[in-house]
């Protein structure tokens, strides 16, 4: 995890437990860094205006101001397990690791009795699925999409021939055959191309900003796949 991602994750971790404090040693263990690194990160966040303060005492630590947190959520144990089931069926999809993190925060925010009930109910539900393995290069592609950066990939086509390409990534898509794809503007072909994730041997996020492309054009170019899109409104 690079420093930018860690700073964001620190804020989200403190937001999830607020108004409780999180000791520096626990944060250090959570992000696999030293306590000194956590202290430097917290200082950087404070200097940038994030309302984090230190709470003294035996149970003290760092606290994110309540105004930066969501009000209490009244999920029932069954509702939480329903969310867990949905995430379980999508565990090999884009941003799956972030979904698991969100679920942990949701359970942690529940009162202890309801949290225990949710864990007990979840233990009695089993999913029988055979998902396609989610390629490691997907994490690099996720970051490039998030940061809107050009990707450099080594891609193997259906004949086994490999080429190195620069791609302006636009969307993840879920195919009817159960595969995941990256759709973007291929600079080598000077046109829209669809890249199956399990055929991408290597992926590197460059420092170059990726131009914006209209999704309408991409949906016309790739009729055999379903655009992976979530409405969060």
Q: What is the pLDDT of residues 86-105, one digit of tens each?
A: 776 666 666 677 777 777 76
Q: Are 81 and 125 in contact (CB under 8 A)?
A: yes
Position 227 pLDDT exceeds 90: no
Span of 64-73, 80-89, 182-191, 214-223 with lowest mean pLDDT: 214-223
Q: Are 6 and 31 in contact (CB under 8 A)?
A: yes
pLDDT by residue (tens digit) across 17-54? 888 899 999 999 989 999 999 999 999 888 877 889 89
Q: What are phi and psi of 106, to 5 degrees?
A: -65, -45
Residue with tokens 């994490």, as numbered in its chain: 139
Q: What is the DSSP letter of 22?
A: B
Q: Output the pLDDT for position 65.
A: 84
All domains of the chain in start order, with CATH: 3-68 (1.10.10.10), 77-123 (no CATH), 137-227 (2.30.30.520)
Residue with tokens 């991602």, as numbered in its chain: 5
Q: How far is CA 228 from the centre of its chain?
A: 15
Please name the residue ranges forming H helices in the chain. Answer: 3-17, 24-31, 35-47, 77-89, 96-108, 112-123, 137-147, 215-221
Position 131 pLDDT exceeds 50: no
Position 126 pLDDT exceeds 80: no
CA-closest candidate to residue 5, choices 142, 105, 170, 134: 142
Q: Output the pLDDT for position 156.
A: 92
Q: What is the mean pLDDT of the chain?
A: 77
Q: Highest mean pLDDT range out of 116-120, 143-147, 217-221?
A: 143-147
CA-closest candidate to residue 98, choices 60, 143, 51: 143
Q: Are 85 and 58 in contact (CB under 8 A)?
A: no
């Amino acid at each position: 995890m690079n420093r930018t991602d860690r700073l964001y994750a620190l804020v989200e971790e403190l937001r999830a437990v607020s108004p409780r404090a999180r000791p520096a040693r626990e944060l250090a263990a959570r992000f696999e860094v030293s306590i000194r690194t956590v202290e430097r990160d917290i200082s950087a966040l404070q200097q940038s205006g994030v309302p984090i303060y230190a709470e003294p005492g035996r149970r003290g630590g760092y606290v994110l101001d309540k105004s930066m947190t969501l009000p209490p959520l009244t999920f029932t144990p069954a509702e939480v397990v329903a969310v867990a089931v949905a995430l379980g069926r999508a565990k090999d999809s884009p941003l799956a690791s972030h979904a698991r993190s969100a679920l942990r925060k949701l359970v942690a925010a529940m009162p202890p009795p309801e949290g225990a009930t949710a864990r007990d109910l979840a233990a009695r539900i089993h999913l029988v699925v055979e998902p396609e393995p989610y390629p490691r290069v997907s994490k690099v592609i996720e970051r490039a999409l998030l940061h809107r950066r050009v990707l450099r990939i080594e891609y193997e086509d259906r004949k086994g021939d490999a080429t190195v390409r620069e791609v302006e990534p636009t969307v993840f898509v879920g195919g009817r055959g159960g595969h995941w794809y990256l759709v973007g503007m291929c600079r080598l072909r000077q046109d829209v191309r669809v890249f199956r994730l399990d055929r991408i041997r290597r992926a590197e996020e460059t420092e170059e900003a990726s131009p914006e492309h209209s999704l309408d054009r991409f949906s016309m170019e790739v009729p055999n796949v379903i655009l992976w899109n979530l409405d969060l409104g």
